[in-house]
Amino acid sequence: MKTWIRNVMLALGMLGAVGAGAAEPFIVVASTTSTEQSGLFAHLLPAFEKDTGIAVHVVAVGTGQALDIGRRGDADVVFVHDKAAELKWLAEGNGVQRYPVMYNDFVLIGPKADPAHVAGGKDIAAALKKIAQAKPAFVSRADKSGTYSAELRLWRDAGVDIAKAKGSWYRETGSGMGPALNTAAALDAYLLADRGTWLNFHNRGNLEIVIEGDKRLFNQYGVMLVNPAKHPQVKKDLGQKFIDWLVSPRGQQVIASYTIDGEQLFFPNAGSDS
């Protein structure tokens, strides 16, 4: 009986080592489901680790939750795509500085049958106005994500008061991009998605892109260091290295080189005023 107790202790000790995350330096980055599920991190992080020897632990949740994780000091860096929310977060003293990193775009997804007759257009506002009138099934993420904020902004641009206009046709799933896409595929519904997640999504059903290319569908990503004055345990040097790498020519080039089926997903724009 004594030998197996010793063996169990050994196993638990090893687990403890795993839990401590071995000896390699690492940072925790709170980011969004769209960046994770587009596959960008699988492409980006190995390059960063190779260049610097720093591992990156990505917790991928909605933008709202990512900013909340940063606010609590449970991450070292936040990397999200909702400029208004990011600036508010900074103003509250949660971070140090915002660096634009890259942009991609949103696309309006819809069923091939296109009951609202919006396919092929280039004007997102006009399309959304038509949808609000035709009332076909529409899936909204309705979580505090960057995509949801963009969706609300676009309804406003279309002159639609979505809070009043929504009815049983407007399905609020409160979920990430992937699950929302699953739901839309099952319902043959319209929804707003980021191109990256869409391109990497395999359960499309009858869905396809119906509107793209409108400048209003532009989606900017920013990265910020969590404020070490507020949270002393933040790994500010390692975190800053990550940020510096992202906006460096090398990092920007790695971002640009990420493609799916030859199509580039993210467009680096560090140093711009986006």
Partner 1 sequence: MDTISQSFALALSMVAHLDARLTQIVGLSVAVSLASTLCSAVIGLPLGAAMAIARFPGRDPVIVTLNAAMGLPPVVVGLLVYLLLSRAGPLGAFGLLFTPTAMVIAQTILIVPIVAALTRQVVEDAWAEYREQLRSLDASWWQSSTTLLWDTRWSLLTVLLAGFGRAASEVGAVIIVGGNIDGVTRVMTTAIALETSKGDLALALGLGIVLLTLVMALNVGAHLTRQWARARFG
Q: Can you tell me which of 7, 10, 11, 174 binds partner 1, judged by CB under 8 A?
A: 11
List Cβ neighbours of 145 (8 Å cut-off, separation of 6 or more).
32, 33, 34, 62, 63, 64, 82, 176, 177
Among 10, 12, 84, 113, binds partner 1 (CB under 8 A): 12
> Per DSSP, what are the bridge partners of residue 207?
111
Residue 153 near partner 1 by CB under 8 A: no
Site for partner 1 in 35-74 (CB under 8 A): 37, 41-42, 57-61, 71-74
Per CB under 8 A, 25 contacts partner 1? no
Contacting residues for 161 by C-beta, under 8 A, at least 6 apart: 155
Sign of CA dihedral 110, 113, 117, 121: positive
Give the phi and the psi of residue 107 in degrees, each rounded to 5.
-130, 150
For the bound state, the minimum distance from the C-beta of residue 117 to partner 1, rounded and expressed in Å, comes to: 26
Q: With contacts defined by CB under 8 A, name the span among 18-26, 81-89, 152-160, 214-222 that binds partner 1.
A: 18-26
Cβ atoms of residues 189 and 98 within 8 Å: no
By CB under 8 A, is residue 10 in contact with partner 1? no
How far is 216 from 197, CA to CA, in rounded Å? 18
Q: How many residues bind partner 1 (CB under 8 A)?
A: 40
Residues that bind partner 1 (CB under 8 A): 8, 11-12, 14-16, 18-21, 28, 33, 37, 41-42, 57-61, 71-74, 175-179, 181-182, 185, 197, 200-204, 231, 233
